[in-house]
């Protein structure tokens, strides 16, 4: 056997020894020679070292559209349009770059008004009759914001609308992205209503509602419809994903029915269980995360 020789290498081989062994030609259990036969064997002589922790990256700021959305103004996509139109200023300079990043200490103005990011708040309301789902009303009627006035220090906005006489689940938030997502037709957010009519609904009309009725906006149809268990036949449960104005009432009116009560019992997986009419609660973290995954 030849004497082992070793030498140090620079670069990636530093602190390693290279051994030569011409007689190392053992066969493995499959009868084949080891693939490393007659090749250099590397054995590290340096102690194991822990990798040095990565240097934290410097704060590279927040994208301007996200900054605006987090301020409760609108969604990121809408913010891009406002930025492009020169509505936004940073430190007194109009910014039209989509990728511009706001740094700590920067002053951002939207349409001449100073803004800053807010903590996102999500409020679930069991809406009673007599309240409209707008932020303000020219006729000084009661709005849903009157009911949630103490829910958050930030301004909240209804996600979609329930008409004045409709009751039930209504989400309010200052998260522009969530609002856009839950109201955009492409996401087909599911809603379930308990509908009370002036007379029994026929099975034939069930079929018409499932097949669809034509309106100015297009064809409106329900996804599911059934009688309410244990209730008279003039009470039905309706599942629908379209969000056209007063569409449930309009569909039944087209078929000759009058809607006496309309109560939304589910919206985007959220229900009013254990929530009294006119009361609200803050969504749990799990509920918020579920909404973001829809």
* Catalytic residue positions, numbered: 163
3 state SS of 282: strand
Helices 285-293, 176-183: axis angle to 10 degrees equals 50
3-class DSSP state of 82: helix
For residue 15, give Cα distances in angstroms to 9, 11, 21, 36.
7, 9, 20, 21
Instruction: Give CA angle at 212 (206, 216), nearest 5°.
Output: 135
Residue 162 tokens read as: 């329930």
Q: What is the DSSP string of the chain?
A: -PPP-----SGGGTTEEEE--TT---B-TTS-B-TTTTS-EEEE-SPP-PPPPPPPPP---EEHHHHHHHTTSS-HHHHHHHHHTT-EEETTEE---TT-EEPTT--EEETTEEE------EEEEEEPTT-BSSS--TT---BHHHHTTTT-SS--EESS---TT-EEEEEEES-HHHHHHHH-GGG---EEEEEEESSPPPHHHHHHHHH-EEETTEEE--SEEEEPTTS-TTEEEEEE----TTHHHHHHHHTT--EEEEEEEEETTEE-TT--TT-EEEPPHHHHHHHHH-
């Amino acid at each position: 056997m030849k004497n082992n020789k070793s030498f140090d290498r620079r670069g990636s081989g530093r602190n390693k020894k290279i051994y030569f062994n011409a007689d190392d030609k053992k066969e493995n259990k499959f009868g084949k020679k080891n693939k490393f036969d007659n090749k250099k064997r590397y054995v590290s002589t340096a102690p194991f070292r822990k990798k040095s922790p990565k240097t934290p990256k410097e704060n590279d700021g927040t994208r301007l559209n996200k900054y605006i959305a987090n301020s409760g103004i609108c969604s990121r996509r809408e913010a891009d349009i406002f930025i492009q139109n020169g509505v936004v200023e940073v430190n007194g300079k109009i910014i039209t770059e989509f990728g511009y990043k706001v740094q700590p200490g920067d002053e951002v103005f939207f349409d001449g008004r100073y803004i800053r990011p807010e903590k996102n708040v999500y409020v679930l309301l069991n809406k009673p009759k007599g309240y409209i789902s707008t932020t303000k009303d020219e006729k000084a009627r009661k709005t849903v914001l009157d009911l949630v006035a103490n829910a958050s220090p930030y301004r909240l906005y209804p996600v979609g609308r329930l008409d004045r006489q409709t009751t039930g689940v209504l989400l309010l938030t200052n998260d522009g992205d969530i609002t856009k997502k839950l109201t955009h037709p492409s996401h087909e957010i599911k809603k379930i209503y308990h509908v009370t009519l002036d007379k029994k609904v026929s099975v034939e009309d069930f079929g018409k509602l499932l097949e669809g009725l034509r309106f100015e906006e297009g064809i409106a149809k329900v996804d599911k419809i059934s009688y309410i268990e244990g209730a008279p036949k003039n009470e039905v449960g309706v599942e629908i994903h379209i969000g056209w104005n007063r569409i449930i009432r309009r569909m039944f009116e087209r078929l000759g029915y009058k809607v006496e009560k309309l109560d939304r019992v589910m919206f985007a997986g959220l229900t009013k269980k254990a929530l009294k009419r006119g009361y609200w609660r803050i969504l749990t973290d799990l509920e918020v995360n579920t909404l973001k995954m829809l």
